[in-house]
Amino acid sequence: MRTVRVAEVPVGRSVVVSGTLSAYDQATITAKVPGRLATLAVDLGSRVRKGQLLARIDGADYQIRVQQAQAALAEARARAGLAGGSVDPRQSGTVRAAQAVLDAARASHERAEALSREGLISKAELDAAEAARKVAESRHQDAIEEIQGRTASAGGRGADVALARQQLADTGIYAPFAGVVQQKRASIGEYLAAGAPVVDLVKVDPLRFRAEVPEREASAVRVGQEVRITAEGQPPVIGRLARISPTISERNRVLNVEADIPNQGTLRPGVLVKAEIVSDASRTALTVPNDAVVSFAGLQKVLMVKDGKAVERPIIVGRRTEQWTEVTSGLAAGDQVVVKPGNLQSGQTVTVATAQAN
């Protein structure tokens, strides 16, 4: 028979809880602009990258709107005299013409003042020249304000172009994060209103593990502690405790915690799992291989070897992993136990094949 010696090894102290795996993020991806769904590049279970195209609204109408807005902008810029790219109202033809009239009126008024001082013209003629200058000044100011108004209108048309281009870009519907399509909510050819759902997307790597820690053990858990997740039929996965509620629930006296669990595609949101939150990694304990423990009628025992014979020893067990079982009572370090005892009975002679340290 093969035997192994009981040894004290680091096993850590842990808080054992049950909880649920949830998607790290989930969102219903909607259409930003109304229109007929032209393409749908994903389906149920499709894995997507962040920024990947999921669907596209027919953009023909939005392309026409861009062209219309660009034409309206060009017209507004031409009316404002900005076709050459200038933004100075004084460079427009309307203002330059008004400036020429104003310059002539000022020159005429200055000549009239000079002639009036020499007594060569009447005061009425001087007043007429001054009035003509003031009218030219007013018309010049009106021309500037008119061009400023046209420039502002051209600016509004420029905003219309930007909006039309944005609406055209919004016909493409993209993934906001990497994940998996949970549900397809629309079909090709369907007319969608703004805000209509297209697909439900979930982020599955990492996953969120949510659990409730009893109040009596709440003081032992800290952010950053190792969390060992075990799901049925899956190998253990190790994550880290990431979030802890600041309060104990008054209703059921538990502390809500969350851990981030890496997922290579084998775990699914919604699965109920068992978890060990390692609160003290330095703790040691006596352990034996799992296949050295015999369970019968709810009791655990091992078969020891003493003086060449098998001796049955009841034990009390603690934590259990895939390889070993913690023994809290019934054995001492150095005891020799039988691995895979099979039908071996207490009192039978045992021939030891190998002896290993645990």
Tens of pLDDT, residues 112-146: 888 888 888 888 888 898 898 888 888 888 877 77
Strand pairing of 354-357 and 2-5?
Answer: parallel
The secondary structure element, H or E, covering residue 63 is: helix 60-79
Contact 40, 181 (CB under 8 A): no
Tens of pLDDT, residues 26-71: 999 999 999 999 999 999 999 999 999 999 999 999 999 999 988 9
Tokens of 338: 């039988």
CATH number of 13-25+202-280: 2.40.30.170
Q: For the chain, what are the domain ranges?
A: 13-25+202-280, 34-57+175-200, 61-169, 284-357
- Whether cis (ω within 30° of 0) applies to the bond prior to 176 is no
Tens of pLDDT, residues 169-203: 999 999 999 999 999 999 999 999 999 999 999 99
Least confident of 165-169, 206-210, 348-352: 348-352
Closest-CA residue to 80 (of 162, 144, 160, 161):
144
Tens of pLDDT, residues 60-115: 999 999 999 889 888 777 766 655 555 566 666 777 788 888 889 889 888 888 88
The pLDDT value recorded for residue 81 is: 67
Tens of pLDDT, residues 61-70: 999 999 998 8
Long-range contacts of 145-150 (CB under 8 A, 24+ apart): 146/94, 147/80, 147/81, 147/89, 147/92, 147/94, 147/95, 148/89, 150/76, 150/79, 150/80, 150/81
Which three-class secondary structure string do you get for 22-57? EEEEEEEEECCCCEEEEEECCCCCCEECCCCEEEEE
Max CA pair span of the chain? 150
Global pTM value: 0.61
Side chain identity, residue 191: Y
Sort residue 172 into left (φ over 0), alpha (ψ -120 to 50) or beta.
beta
The pLDDT value recorded for residue 89 is: 65
The pLDDT value recorded for residue 324 is: 81
The pLDDT value recorded for residue 297 is: 76
C-alpha–C-alpha distance, residues 294 and 106, integer Å: 117
Q: pLDDT confidence of 357, banded at 50, 70, 90?
A: very low
Average pLDDT over residues 327-356: 78
Name the CATH topology of 284-357.
Answer: 2.40.420
Contact 317, 325 (CB under 8 A): yes
The pLDDT value recorded for residue 253 is: 94
The pLDDT value recorded for residue 88 is: 64
Could you give phi then psi for residue 302, rounded to 5 degrees? -130, 165
The pLDDT value recorded for residue 83 is: 54
Strand pairing of 226-230 and 237-244?
Answer: antiparallel
Least confident of 31-40, 144-153, 210-219: 144-153
The pLDDT value recorded for residue 82 is: 58
CATH number of 34-57+175-200: 2.40.50.100
Mean pLDDT for the chain? 86
Closest-CA residue to 11 (of 304, 329, 327):
327
How far does CA 208 lie from the centroid of its chain?
13
What DSSP assignment string belongs to 255-310?
EEEEEEE--SSS--TT-EEEEEEEEETT-EEEEEEGGG-EEETTEEEEEEEETTEE
Tokens of 95: 């203002």
Closest-CA residue to 341 (of 297, 285, 287, 301):
301
Q: Reply yes or no on whether the pLDDT at 259 is more than 70.
A: yes
Contact 183, 197 (CB under 8 A): no
Angle at 110 (CA atoms; ends 107, 115), nearest 5 degrees: 125
Q: Reply yes or no on whether the pLDDT at 162 is more than 60.
A: yes
Average pLDDT over residues 214-238: 89
The pLDDT value recorded for residue 358 is: 45
The pLDDT value recorded for residue 60 is: 95
The pLDDT value recorded for residue 355 is: 46
Tokens of 257: 């915690």
